[in-house]
């Protein structure tokens, strides 16, 4: 029997997710893609313009997501082959290599924001470093605790931190909830798979909306790693299981194949 899993990741991640399912779909899972958040670069932001003009003064540049890497690639900065100051999370390091044509720094860090903090903690003289962090602004949802905790942990290193808001993350709008609820209620959905804290907050809002309209949605929710699960719990969601491996979508798909 084919099992249907609702994938809530942004549209930009869908091709990689679909490819991972093609490789590991030994149990007949049908991924249904319905993005709960969208991301759009803000290349004309004043913060980004200032950062670009001062790029050479930074010791490290932390990309909080693949979108941040994409913004860097479109920023007009000329990256030299020996430029090893770009830090990215997990498989986003591949995007650094393919889009910027440089080797990422701290490439052995745990594939998470807090993993980056721990890797920086081991850098000699880190308190004297100047670090830029490429971040989103949020529209229709709170700043996830993964980001607030990350920025606080960076501050604890006593280094110079400059946040650079260079793209916008927006929540699925309430008028669009009906299409998701139709999928969840009229079509059989066996599981919901979250990949970020933002998606968790949208799902919590969607379920509250459904309940207020007399719909009781009882579908297992799975999470891509402990940081997403933490955000989900803060939003009031119950998580059926959390993937212990969160280095790549391949990891997550293997986990879902085993769980669903």
What secondary structure does DSSP assign to 4-72, as a single string? EEEE-S-GGGHHHHHHHHHHH-TT-EEEEE--SEEEEE-TT-HHHHHHHHTGGG-SEEEESSHHHHHHH
How high is the mean pLDDT of the chain?
93
Average pLDDT of span 46-67 = 96
CB atoms within 10 A of CB 22: 10
- CB-CB contact of 171 with 36 (8 Å): yes
Whole-number Å distance between alpha carbons of 175 and 186: 18
Which pLDDT band, with edges at 50, 70 and 90, does 16 fall under? confident
Bridge partners (DSSP) listed for residue 139: 170
Domain positions in the chain are 3-36+172-259, 40-170
pLDDT confidence of residue 255: 92
Position 91 scores a pLDDT of 87
CA 139 to chain centre: 15
Share of the chain above pLDDT 70, in %: 98
- What is the pLDDT, as a whole number, of residue 54? 97
Confidence of residue 173 (pLDDT cuts 50, 70, 90): very high
- Among 3.30.450.30, 3.40.50.10090, 1.10.357.10, 3.30.70.380, what is the CATH number of 3-36+172-259? 3.40.50.10090
* 90 has pLDDT over 80: yes
- Domains 3-36+172-259 and 40-170 are alike in CATH topology: yes
The top-level CATH class assigned to 40-170 is: alpha beta
Rounded to an integer, the average pLDDT of 191-202 is 95
Q: Which DSSP letter does residue 218 get?
A: -
Inform me whether the pLDDT recorded for 68 exceeds 90: yes
Is the pLDDT score of 40 beyond 70? yes
How far is the CA of 145 from the CAs of 29, 81, 87, 197, 230, in angstroms?
31, 35, 20, 8, 8
240-248 mean pLDDT:
87
The predicted pLDDT at position 139 comes to 95
């Amino acid at each position: 029997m084919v099992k249907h899993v609702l994938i809530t990741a942004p549209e930009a991640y869908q091709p990689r997710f679909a490819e991972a399912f093609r490789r590991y779909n030994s149990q007949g899972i049908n991924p249904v893609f319905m993005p709960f958040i969208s991301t759009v670069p803000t290349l004309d932001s004043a913060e980004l313009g200032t950062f670009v003009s001062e790029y050479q003064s930074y010791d490290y540049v932390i990309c909080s997501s693949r979108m941040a890497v994409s913004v860097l690639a479109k920023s007009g900065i000329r990256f030299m082959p020996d430029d090893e100051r770009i830090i990215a999370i997990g498989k986003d390091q591949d995007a650094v290599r393919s889009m910027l044509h440089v080797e990422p720094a701290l490439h052995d860090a745990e594939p998470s924001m807090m993993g980056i903090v721990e890797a920086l903690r081991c850098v000699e003289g880190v308190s004297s470093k100047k670090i830029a962090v490429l971040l989103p602004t949020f529209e229709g949802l709170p700043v996830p605790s993964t980001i607030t905790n990350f920025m606080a942990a960076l501050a604890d290193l006593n280094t110079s931190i400059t946040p650079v808001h260079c793209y916008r993350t927006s929540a699925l709008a309430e008028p669009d909830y009906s299409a998701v609820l139709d999928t969840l209620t009229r079509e059989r959905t066996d599981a919901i798979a979250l990949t970020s804290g933002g998606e968790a907050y949208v799902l919590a809002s969607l379920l509250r909306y459904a309940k207020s309209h007399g719909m009781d949605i009882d579908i297992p929710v799975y999470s891509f790693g402990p940081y997403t699960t933490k955000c989900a719990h803060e939003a009031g969601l119950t998580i059926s299981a959390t993937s212990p491996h969160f280095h790549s979508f391949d990891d997550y798909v293997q986990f879902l194949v085993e769980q669903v």
